[in-house]
């Protein structure tokens, strides 16, 4: 595979590389004094965040945090494989989480997920003879779920609506990712993440973020159900008071 070497090769992007680099120059001017301070110091992140690669989801905006708060890991569909199948890149990130003593982990799945929809569209990905879509579609299978079966069931239940079926699959995939995560090595004296959680030394949350509504559901691991986050501002405009009636004409 050859690397693109001149500007024309980037022409299929909405944003050319030159204007992207300009964004960096001008974006630097938007960094607040508070953010600049946080960037200068030693990082002591509060949360290890696992969310999808999707470019529409901006975790720092959605969760409203600045620099120094979150270690971000962004695999397709926020997939966490069982520990026996983990790749070195993820194991190293988990080691970094332990070194930095990060005591919160948040997994965020999202609506309209391309990774989940690829799995719906290609229920039996072929990594040998298939193309790029097969490679993307295969990611959700790394959770260990029977995605081939689930994809077909969800598509049938949604009357062929790939988007709706994908949302169901994205949720199931994230729940399995959470279950897989529990088996990974814990920090300090804890053998596993599950032990770390039980001791109260670690808090773990699984969320589903709706890209259209900006609403969030949280998965209750004990009950095994998704629940809307209580007290969450949906961003919907407040109902308007009816306009005042025009004053009667002067007599
Ligand atoms: Zn996604």
Q: How far is the CA of 229 from the centre of ligand 1 (A)?
A: 20
**C-alpha of residue 199 to centroid of ligand 1, in Å:** 32
- Whose CA is closest to 117, among 95, 133, 96, 97? 133
Predicted pLDDT at 3? 41
Which residues have a beta carbon within 5 Å of ligand 1, which is an ion?
52, 54, 113, 115
What CATH homologous superfamily does 41-220 map to? Carbonic anhydrase (3.40.1050.10)
**Which tokens sit at 128?**
């040998």
Q: Write phi, then psi, for 212 (nearest 5 degrees).
A: -85, -45
Indicate the pTM of the whole model.
0.84
Residues 6+ apart with CB under 8 A from 173: 77, 78, 79, 109, 116, 140, 143, 145, 147
Report how far ligand 1's centroid is from the alpha carbon of 117 (Å).
Answer: 9
Number of neighbouring beta carbons within 10 Å of residue 79: 24
Token pair recorded at residue 3: 């690397």
230 within 8 A of 217, measured Cβ to Cβ: no
Q: How many residues does the chain have?
A: 251
pLDDT reported for residue 1: 36
Ligand 1 center–CA 188 separation, angstroms: 32
* Rounded alpha-carbon distances, angstroms, from residue 73 to 6, 80, 106, 183, 202: 30, 10, 10, 18, 18
The torsion angles phi and psi of 196, rounded to 5 degrees, stand at -60, -40
Domain ranges of the chain: 41-220
* pLDDT, one tens digit for every residue, the chain (251 residues): 334 444 445 455 577 888 888 888 887 788 888 888 889 988 899 999 999 999 999 998 888 888 999 999 999 999 999 999 999 999 999 999 999 999 999 999 999 999 999 999 999 999 999 999 999 999 999 999 999 999 999 999 999 999 999 999 999 999 999 999 999 999 999 999 999 999 999 999 999 999 999 999 999 999 999 999 875 554 445 444 444 555 555 55
Concatenated DSSP letters of 123-142: SS--TTT--HHHHHHHGGGG
* Ligand 1 center–CA 245 separation, angstroms: 49
Extract the tokens encoding 85: 């199948």
Q: Count the alpha carbons within 13 Å of 39 in the hemisphere toward its beta carbon.
A: 9
How far, in Å, from the CA of 146 to the mean position of ligand 1? 19
What's the CA-to-centroid distance between 79 and ligand 1, angstroms?
10
Give dist(CA 22, CA 137) in Å, integer.
34
Q: What angle do CA 117, 123, 124 make, to 5 degrees?
A: 140
Distances (CA, A) of 161 to 80, 167, 226: 26, 10, 21
């Amino acid at each position: 595979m050859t690397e693109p070497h001149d500007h024309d090769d980037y022409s299929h992007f909405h944003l050319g590389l030159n204007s992207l680099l300009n964004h960096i120059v001008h974006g630097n001017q938007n960094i607040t004094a508070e953010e600049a301070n946080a960037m200068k110091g030693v990082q002591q992140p509060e949360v290890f965040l696992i969310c999808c690669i999707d470019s529409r989801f901006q975790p720092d905006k959605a969760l409203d945090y600045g620099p120094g708060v979150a270690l971000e890991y962004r695999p397709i569909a926020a997939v966490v494989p069982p520990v026996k199948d983990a790749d070195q890149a993820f194991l190293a990130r988990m080691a970094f989480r332990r070194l930095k003593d990060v005591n919160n982990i948040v997994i965020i799945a999202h609506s309209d997920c391309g990774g989940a929809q690829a799995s719906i569209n290609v229920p039996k990905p072929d990594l040998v003879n298939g193309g790029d879509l097969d490679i993307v579609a295969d990611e959700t299978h790394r959770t260990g779920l029977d995605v081939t079966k689930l994809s077909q069931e969800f598509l049938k239940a949604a009357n062929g609506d790939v988007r709706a079926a994908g949302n169901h699959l994205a949720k199931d995939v994230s729940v399995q990712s959470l279950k897989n995560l529990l088996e990974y090595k814990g920090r300090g004296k804890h053998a596993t993440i599950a032990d770390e959680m039980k001791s109260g030394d670690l808090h773990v949350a699984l969320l589903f973020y709706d890209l259209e509504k900006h609403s969030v559901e949280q998965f209750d691991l004990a009950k095994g159900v998704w629940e809307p986050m209580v007290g969450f501002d949906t961003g919907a405009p407040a109902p308007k008071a009816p306009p005042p009636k025009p004053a009667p004409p002067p007599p």
